[in-house]
Each structure stands twice: as structure tokens, then as C-alpha cells.
Amino acid sequence: MSDAPLPKLRHPVFLGGLLVALVLMLYSTTAQFDFVALDDQTHVLGNAAVRNLDIGSAFTQPHASLWIPLTWISYMVDITIAGGVKPWIFHLTNLLLHAINAVLLWRWLEGATKRRWPSLIVALLFAVHPLNVESVAWIAERKNMLSTAFWLLALIAYTRFARDGSCRAYFATLLAGAAGLMAKPMLVTLPFTLLLLDAWPFDRFNRVGWKRVLLEKIPFVLLSLGISATTVWAHQTVGGMMDAGALTLLERTLNAGTSYGLYLRQLFWPAGLGVQGRHPQEILVGAGIAGWIAVAALTAFALWYRKREPAVLWGWLWYLGTLLPVIGFLQAGSEPNADRFTYVPQFGIFVALIWSLWPWALRQTRAALAVFATVTIALAGQTAHLVGYWEDSVTLFERAATIFPRSFRANANAGFANARLKNYPRAIQYYRASLDVFPAQSETWNNLGAAMAFLGDDQQAIYAFRQALLYPPVDPAVTINLNRAEQREAARAKK
């Protein structure tokens, strides 16, 4: 399909500059934000390799259940540039990476499909979508954007390889893929995405044969298997992987269906976004069934529609496949779904949507421009609104607790954030709300006891510390806190 009816676009440098400027406009305030008490301490402030600028340890030692040496090295570069551990430099790098990814997404799609306008629109939707606020505004999610940058570079190199068979381009694809895996294991689906490109738009299965296409992917599969094994080892080293028996296969399947459906809804109606929603053991049966019904229906539609527009099936398979590592079948951590998980999968939905609407857009140019402008402004407005909640830990977690009142983690973190500011009555309120949802939290009971002790209520503190001892893993500090509270209470009784 020709894009001739549309006016000729300006130079690519100008258009890329517009994408960068838009991202900077939406996210520039993050440079004034602080670290948040959610993995920022773990990956930056409490990461000895990062603080000591120890590149060797970044490659040889897992940390926080992860092995992501290139992400940690990127933090070291920030510290070196800023002359210390200063939050503004980390935020600035994050927003620049998101801007770069938007440009790379556009250039890759245009190079692969030879379609400038729809490719640019996909990149613009990605640049402004509110689902990406979590990835950009959260320092600890550097791994998401850095790995995506390498992923897009790999796709750009593979596009050249698919066009002219360049060995240099093939090895550049392999190198970029390996680098992306060392930034975040999400790239384990890179071989799958390359196969999708072989099918559309390159048609390489027919041009060079399926045997050659599959043989070319063997090094990429080996890389993915290697990083998968490393990731499992890193998680097991610190207990980050949930016990395989913690959830049944049926429960995992329902979790996956819930997440697939939820992300689709959020892409088209991004309301109620926030960190730390439900616990993976909170099984939403109805949502899970509805999600899988939606997946089945949309898969059937994409298959039926593929001859009219193959990009629809391509985009849908991209969405389903790239979400697979984080969809909940193998649960790592305590979040079955999170906004950041959609950072790459959303590419597929945007491509399917824009390519399917493009014939109508060519016939009704003015109407299409009006609709697209309205959607872009609405998404950008929501993004600008959400960015402000990442200013500090209290603002972030109190909003999360408001949106997800049944999230024990959101409430526990809201309590911890208030306790750091010595607002103990409010901290206690959130700790109790967290424990009402999920009592088996030794850490939260201990924090509740500490807040009670600071307010001078040692009787309640003793009760909380004793509760903390009931739920493993128990921090040795709990016993110390309990002994001190009992000594204070005994001394008070003697008076």
C-alpha cells in the first residue's frame, strides 16, 4: 500500500528530534525526583558493585536475584559522570533511554516495512503511553529500557541481514542480543521475534527456506537458554523464585489469562495505573477466564484477517510471545502483573492497530489526523499526570495503596515510607491495612512493632514483635527489638 496521498515528511533527523523533545517534555520533571523505597536501594544504593564501581563483580556476582551486569555498569557510568550517587543523573539517563528507544522503534519499523507514517505513529504512541511511566520514572527499571535499546538495535541489524544477507549484520544482531540479555533476561524471546520478522515483512520462509531460517536462530536460542539458566540460578541463590508448588498449573494459567486481558485493557484504557497491585496467590477466576476467552477470540480474528493485513496477526503474536516470560507461568517475585512488563509487548498491539486502520486513514485523512491527535494528547496528559506520583516514596505508595487497597505490599511500603519521615501514626495505619490483607509478613510485623515502640506503646510493640517471630523468614533484628521492648516494659512495671 502506498503512502503517496500523505504529504511528504521532513528530514528523519527533524522527526526524531520531535520524538525526543516530546519525551523530554513529558518526563523532564523526573530529574528533580528522589530515589524511591522500592528496589532503588537494592539495585543502586545497596549494591556494593555499583557503589564501588566494581565492574568485575558486576559480571561475576548475582545481586537481588538477578544477573544484569550491563545495567549495573550503566549505573556506574552515571555515578562517574555525576561525581557521586545523585538521583538526577539516574533519572536523566532513564528518560534519555526512553527517547532513544522511541526513535529506534520508528527507524526499525520504517526500515523493515518501508512505511514511514505508520511507523512514526507507532513510535509516537509508545513514546507517550502512560503504561511506560513505571519504566521511565523508576530508577530500578533501567534494565527495562537498556535491554529494549539493545533489542531494537538487534532488530535493526537483523533487518539489514534479511535484506542483503550480510554476515556482519548477522553477527551485529547476535552481539546486540547478547548485550540485551546482560541488561535484562526479557530478551529470551528474541529468537521468536526474529522468526516473526522472517514471516512478515521479510517473507524469508519462502525466499530462503525454513531450514535455513531455523538454523540461523540456533545461536540465539543457545544464548536464551544460557541466560535462562543463569536467571534461575540467580533467583534461587537468594530465594527470589516462588516455590514451584506455591501455585498449581490451573492457578498459573488463570493468572496468565488475567494479565493478558488486563494489559490489553490498559493499552486502550490506561486508567487506575499504579505499582504493586495484587499478589500472585490472589487468583481472579472470572478475570482469568475472561482473559483467555479474549485471547482465543482475538487469535481467531487475527488468523481470519491475516490475508487482508498480515501485520495484525504479526502484532498479536508479538504481544502474546514477548509477554510469555512475565505472564505468570513461572512466577518470580510477588507481582503477577506490572505496567513495566508491557514495555516491549505493546509494540505488537500498536503495529496491529495502526496497520489495520491505515486504509481508512488514507481515505479519511482529516478525520484520522483528528482522532490520532486527540488520542495522543489524552495519552500524553495521563502520562504527565502519572509522572508526578513518582516524586518520592510517600506520594508513590500512598497512591498505590489508594488504587489497590487490597495490596499488602503497597500498604506495607506506604507505611515504611511514612515511618522514614517519622510519621508513625500514619505508618501504623498502613502497616495494619497490609497485615489485614496478608498477616504472614514478618517484616511488616517488625516494622509495626518498631513504630509502636517509637510512640512509647511497648505493649503493642511486644505483641507485634512476637507475631513477627511466627512467620519466616525472620530477621535477627526482630529478637533484638523484642528483648528491648520487654526490658523497657519490665522497667516501667517496677516503677
Same domain? For 255 and 151 the reply is: yes
* Percent of the chain topping pLDDT 70: 92
Start-to-end CA distance of the chain, whole Å, equals 89
d(CA 340, CA 52): 28
Final residue of a structural domain among 360, 390, 420: 390
**Count of domains in the chain?**
2
Q: How confident is the model at residue 224 (pLDDT cuts 50, 70, 90)?
A: very high
pLDDT at 281 (0 to 100): 58
- Mean pLDDT is lowest, of 121-130, 222-231, 257-266, for 222-231
Residues 465-480: tens digit of each pLDDT:
999 999 998 999 999 9
pLDDT at res. 381: 97
pLDDT at 6: 46
pLDDT at 492: 84
**pLDDT at residue 292, rounded to an integer:** 96
3-class secondary structure, 314: helix
Looking at the structure, do residues 88 and 205 belong to the same domain, yes or no? yes
Q: Look up residue 427 and give its three cell numbers.
A: 505508618
Claim to verify: residue 164 and residue 203 sit in the same structural domain: yes
Mean pLDDT, to the nearest integer, of 157-164? 96
* Residue 274 near residue 403 (C-beta atoms within 8 A): yes
| Residues 214, 300 within the same domain | yes
Helix, strand and coil percent figures for the chain, each rounded to 5: 75, 0, 25
- pLDDT digits 0-9 by tens, 70-114: 999 999 999 999 999 999 999 999 999 999 999 999 999 999 999
Tally of CA atoms within 13 A in the half-sphere of 407 that contains its CB: 24
Do 419 and 365 fall within a single domain? no
Residues 383 and 438 in one domain: no
Rounded to whole angstroms, the Cα distance separating 92 from 96 reads 6
The candidate with the shortest Cα–Cα distance to 253, out of 204, 278, 214, 289, is 289
Residue 399 above 70 pLDDT?
A: yes
* Cross-strand partners of 241: 332
Same domain, 124 and 180: yes
Closest CA to 450 of 461, 459, 441, 439: 461
Whether residue 3 is contained in a domain is answered as no
Residue range(s) defining the domain that contains residue 329: 12-390
User: Domain check: are 264 and 277 in the same one?
Assistant: yes
Residues 299 and 408 in one domain: no
pLDDT score recorded for residue 179:
97
| pLDDT of the residue at 1 | 42
Cell 513505571 belongs to 134
Check if the beta carbon of residue 138 is closer than 8 Å to that of residue 97. Answer: no
* DSSP character string of 380-412: HHHHHHHHGGGSSHHHHHHHHHHH-TT-HHHHH
- Supply the pLDDT for residue 5: 46
Higher pLDDT, 207 or 233: 207
Last residue of a domain, one of 349, 372, 390: 390
Position 435 pLDDT exceeds 70? yes
pLDDT for residue 302: 97
Q: One-letter amino acid identity for 281?
A: Q
Q: DSSP states of 336-367 as a string?
A: S--GGGGTTTHHHHHHHHHHHHHHHHHHSHHH
| Pairwise CA distance, residues 444 & 428, whole Å | 10
For 22-79, what is each residue's pLDDT tens digit? 999 999 999 999 999 888 988 999 999 999 999 999 999 888 888 999 999 999 999 9
What's the CA dihedral at 91, 96, 97, 102 to 10 degrees? 130
The percent of residues above 90 in pLDDT, for the chain, comes to: 79
What integer best gives the mean pLDDT of the chain? 91
Distances (CA, A) of 38 to 42, 129, 261, 276: 8, 22, 26, 10
State residue 278's pLDDT score.
Answer: 61
Sign of torsion over alpha carbons 119, 93, 326, 68: positive
CATH number, domain with residue 433: 1.25.40.10
pLDDT band at 493 (very low <50, low <70, confident <90, very high): confident
3-state secondary structure of 241: strand
Q: What are the pLDDT digits (tens) for 167-202?
A: 999 999 999 999 999 999 999 999 999 999 999 999
Tell me the pTM.
0.92
pLDDT attached to residue 336: 65
What are 225-234's pLDDT values in tens digits? 999 888 777 7
Cβ-based neighbour number of residue 430 at 10 Å: 26
Domain assignment of residue 465, yes or no: yes
SS3 track for 448-466: HHHHHHHCCCHHHHHHHHH
Domain presence at residue 6: no
Q: What are the C-alpha distances in Å from 288 to residues 41, 276, 320, 327, 338?
A: 34, 19, 15, 12, 16
Q: Is 248 helix (H, G, I), strand (E, B) or coil?
A: coil
Q: Are 294 and 418 members of one domain?
A: no
Q: Is the pLDDT of residue 243 over 50?
A: no
Dig out the grid coordinates for 74 from the structure. 550503566
Let me know if residue 7 belongs to a domain.
Answer: no
Query: Is residue 57 located within the same domain as residue 104?
Result: yes
Whether residue 1 lies inside any domain: the answer is no
Domain stops at, among 346, 367, 390: 390
The CA angle 262-268-273, to the nearest 5 degrees, is: 55
pLDDT at 246: 67
* Distance in angstroms (rounded) separating the CA atoms of residues 351 and 373: 17
Query: Would you say residue 38 lies in a domain?
Result: yes
Q: Smallest Cα–Cα separation from 248: which of 323, 185, 329?
A: 329
Query: What separation in angstroms does the CA of 186 have from each of 126, 141, 189, 345?
Result: 18, 12, 7, 11
**Per the domain annotation, does 35 fall within a domain?**
yes
Q: What is the pLDDT of residue 317?
A: 98
Instruction: Give the pLDDT confidence of 331-377 residue by residue, as tens digits.
Output: 555 566 789 999 999 999 999 999 999 999 999 999 999 999 999 99
Please, where are the H alpha helices in 208-325? 210-216, 218-238, 249-268, 285-305, 310-323
Whether residues 317 and 346 share a domain: the answer is yes
Q: What is the mean pLDDT of residues 239-259?
A: 72
In a domain, 5, yes or no: no
